[in-house]
Amino acid sequence: MNKRTLAAEYANHSEAIFKCPVCNSSMRVFELKSLICSNNHTFDFAKQGYINLMTHPVKNKYSRKLFEARRKLIAEAGFFEPLSQAITEIVYKHVDINKKSLSLIDMGCGEGSHLFNICKSIRSKYQKIITGIGIDISKEGILEASKSYTNKIWTVGDLANTPFMNEQFDVMLNILSPSNYNEFNRVLKADGLLIKVVPQSSYLKELREIIFNQPEKQSYSNTDTVIRFNENFQMVDNSRVSYTVPLDKLSIQSLVEMTPLSWEAPKEEVKSFLNGDTTQITVALEILIGKKQ
Ligand SMILES: [Zn+2]
């Protein structure tokens, strides 16, 4: 079976989650080729195995190269492995373990490696049926995700107007990515769990110290992000994950390519960072865990 048909068949089991991004009516999978709404708005599955539910094209600032670099770093260098483990534990602690199946959505999934790793880890640890849905506004990200990972629903869509019905998901991930709390509230189930990951001040500090001369840019504050989270969700728990990752030359290159902060840095500084053979880099993250208010 080709990837388009496989993707349509996988989505077919979950077609009730979708709503038409044009007219908000319900949708169904048609002839294992398209999603079609009751007013006949039609969106085709792409041959790579994703579905584009955008109603208008958007200019994308993130390139395919960035997503390839990110996937390499996560999938091959294990850059976020401790984070996946921590999230698996959090799901076990906060989600009703008697549920036979779980639906997990990653809001702003990029190239999909977080969703893939976390679904895999939860499935092997707790023997649950997991449906994984990734949505991102970047077609390049979703394209990379669908090429790398099957048995997921990969959707190009707008986080401000997600193509999903109300209260569909048990667990929502939002990892190092902007939030739209109105939509998060709308599509999360009443007993659902929001897991948002934000950087701690020392996140990637070795990279920041080298490429920025100004001390105020060398660390990062997440105070405003935490305040906004608390305004919109009830924080039930939070935890911190902090570790260092050894990077070889190729991984250093991937890290620089995937990190927007290095794009605004002076070229010479970036070059000197890239010329190192190996380095240690700090990954320091805070995980905010919320339920609906
Ligand atoms: Zn429609």
Which residues surround the ion ligand 1 when the cut-off is CB under 5 Å? 20, 22-23, 37, 39, 41
Average pLDDT over residues 41-69: 91
**218 pLDDT band (50/70/90 cuts)?**
low
Helix (H) or strand (E) holding 191: strand 188-199
Residue 165 CA to ligand 1 center (angstroms) comes to: 13
Residue 5 CA to ligand 1 center (angstroms) comes to: 22
Q: What percent of the chain has pLDDT over 70?
A: 97
Residue 21 CA to ligand 1 center (angstroms) comes to: 7
Whether the model clears a pTM of 0.85, i.e. scores above it, the answer is yes
Sign of the torsion formed by the C-alpha atoms of 207, 201, 91 and 86? positive
Residue 114's alpha-carbon distances to 79, 80, 174, 222, 278, in angstroms, are 10, 8, 10, 21, 25
Average pLDDT over residues 215-228: 82
Answer yes or no: are the C-beta atoms of 101 and 13 closer than 8 Å: no
Higher pLDDT, 59 or 214: 59
Top-ranked range on mean pLDDT: pick from 94-98, 158-162, 203-207, 208-212: 158-162
CA–CA distance, 182 with 174 (Å, rounded to integer) = 14
Answer yes or no: are the C-beta atoms of 269 and 217 closer than 8 Å: no
Q: Tens digits of per-residue pLDDT, 174-192?
A: 999 999 999 999 999 999 9
End-to-end CA distance of the chain: 44
Average pLDDT over residues 185-209: 93
Question: What residues have CB less than 8 Å from 18, skipping those under 6 apart?
Answer: 11, 26, 27, 35, 53, 163, 164, 165
Residue 78 CA to ligand 1 center (angstroms) comes to: 41
Please tell me whether residue 112 adopts helix, strand or coil conformation: coil
Residue 175, token pair as written in the block? 């990892």
Sign of the torsion formed by the C-alpha atoms of 26, 137, 139 and 84? negative
Query: Residue 122 pLDDT more than 70?
Result: yes
Residue 167 CA to ligand 1 center (angstroms) comes to: 19
Residue 96 CA to ligand 1 center (angstroms) comes to: 34
